[in-house]
Amino acid sequence: MEAFTVHRGRMLPLDRSNVDTDAIIPKQYLKSIRRTGFGPFLFDDWRYLDPGTLDIDPGTRRPNPDFVLNEADRAGASVLLARDNFGCGSSREHAVWALADYGIRCVIAPSFADIFFSNCFKNGVLPVVLKADEVDQLIQVATASPAREVEIDLAAQTVASDDLRFTFDIDPQRKHNLLEGLDEIGITLSAHADAIRAYEARRRQEAPWLFREDSV
């Protein structure tokens, strides 16, 4: 998993509350269990004027000119701004995969659904909780100035954009894992790598036939 230390990028203002996971990545895309390839389908129902599936090339579909992702000066934005209760609905991890595959490194909102919030940390996306009025200030400047950038410093727990500067809280263990780029497998290996290697060496002696090339 890619570590998150300091990220600087342009903002993508999604001025909506209660954005559920089906809006982030609709159900027809859950047939795929790969972690990549979901970026073109992020916010699919709002982003396109015609329906889509995994079998339809998104490049052949009509983009919705009134949706923020399709504004020419928003291309490459990597920090999503949202309102209350972002990521509610079903627990699909695909929602975070779609955000990450699109290039979103950080989502800033006043509140998140619990499971979505947890899934973000497992996939290298930083969910930042700010006060509603602080998010409102960021949305206002991002809407007025698409080129405006924001810097998120995880170690310092700050969000800054020109004269705006806010602080956020984060669980210390989750902060450590993101700074080190540790997902759940990485956490296990960092804590038990020696024990795993010792077990594998012992098992190779106890049951050598399992490790022969012709045994598979």
**What does the domain layout of the chain look like in residue ranges?**
6-182, 183-216
| AA identity, residue 151 | E
d(CA 72, CA 74): 5
**Exposure b/e, 10-45, CB count within 10 A at least 16 = b:** bbbbbeeeebbbbbbbbeebbeeeeeeebbbbbbbe
Indicate the CATH number for domain 6-182: 3.20.19.10
**Which pLDDT belongs to residue 4?**
96
Chain centroid, CA 185 distance in Å: 18
pTM of the model: 0.86
pLDDT, residue 103, reads 97
Give average pLDDT by consecutive 10-residue segment, the chain, 216 residues.
Answer: 95 97 95 88 97 93 96 95 97 95 98 97 96 98 96 98 97 94 70 74 83 64
Using alpha carbons only, give the angle 183, 181, 101 rounded to the nearest 5 degrees.
75
